[in-house]
């Protein structure tokens, strides 16, 4: 036995966990930028409209990042953006609903409270999006079925 036998072997991250970490970093970065943009845009136009604009722009950016980095997929194009966009409809409703509830409960919340609610709702919606994107939009292509041990040409050659 060698002196190194007692050292632990290097562990590799589970592919799902690694994809989730990449998803959080990419989505979180876009989400933070969107949060800042919401503050700026929300001062000029109604909050729900500002959230809609920010959601569309950030979704296009995040979808590209998720395709290339998070899920390392070769799927591109408008179909992927449309499918990803459908998952954002739920996110938009969730974040807008959270902000509307906040404003119903507190007539003039501080920017910090508003951002906390927005980012919390975005994080919760993001977990749901990860699952949908992983399973439906960027799902790995199924592996080809195993070929049978004896194919017709192999049987003919053997005979």
Average pLDDT over residues 44-67: 89
pLDDT score at 158 = 52
Residue 12 pLDDT class (50, 70, 90 cuts): low
- Residue 149 region by backbone torsions, left for phi larger than 0, else alpha for psi between -120 and 50, else beta: alpha
> What confidence tens digit (pLDDT) does each residue in 69-96 have?
988 887 778 888 888 888 878 888 888 9
Q: ∠ at Cα 30 (29, 32), nearest 5°? A: 65
Structure tokens at 29: 């970065």
pLDDT score at 56 = 83
pLDDT score at 115 = 92
Average pLDDT over residues 9-15: 69
Q: Is the pLDDT of residue 110 over 90?
A: yes
Q: Is the pLDDT of residue 5 over 80?
A: no
CA distances from 94 to 40, 122, 126, 129, 149 (A): 21, 8, 11, 12, 52
pLDDT score at 22 = 93
Kindly state the DSSP code that residue 137 receives in the 8-state scheme. I
Kindly state the DSSP code that residue 148 receives in the 8-state scheme. P
Higher-scoring residue by pLDDT: 50, 154: 50
CA distances from 1 to 8, 67, 90, 124 (A): 14, 46, 58, 50
> What confidence tens digit (pLDDT) does each residue in 112-137 have?
999 999 889 988 888 888 888 888 88
Higher-scoring residue by pLDDT: 110, 2: 110
Tokens 């799927």 found at: 75
């Amino acid at each position: 036995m060698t002196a190194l036998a007692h050292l632990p072997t290097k562990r590799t991250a589970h592919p799902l966990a690694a994809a989730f970490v990449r998803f959080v970093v990419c989505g979180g970065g876009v989400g933070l930028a969107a949060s800042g943009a919401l503050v700026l845009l929300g001062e000029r136009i109604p909050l729900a409209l500002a959230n809609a604009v920010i959601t569309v722009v950030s979704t296009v950016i995040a979808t590209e990042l998720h395709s290339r980095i998070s899920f390392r997929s070769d799927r591109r194009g408008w179909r992927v953006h449309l499918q990803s966009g459908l998952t954002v409809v739920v996110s938009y409703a969730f974040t807008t609903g959270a902000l509307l509830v906040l404003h119903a409960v507190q007539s003039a919340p501080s920017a910090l409270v508003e951002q906390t609610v927005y980012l919390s709702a975005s994080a919760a919606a993001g977990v749901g999006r990860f699952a949908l994107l992983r399973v439906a939009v960027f799902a790995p292509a199924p592996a080809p079925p195993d070929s049978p041990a004896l194919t017709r040409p192999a049987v003919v050659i053997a005979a």
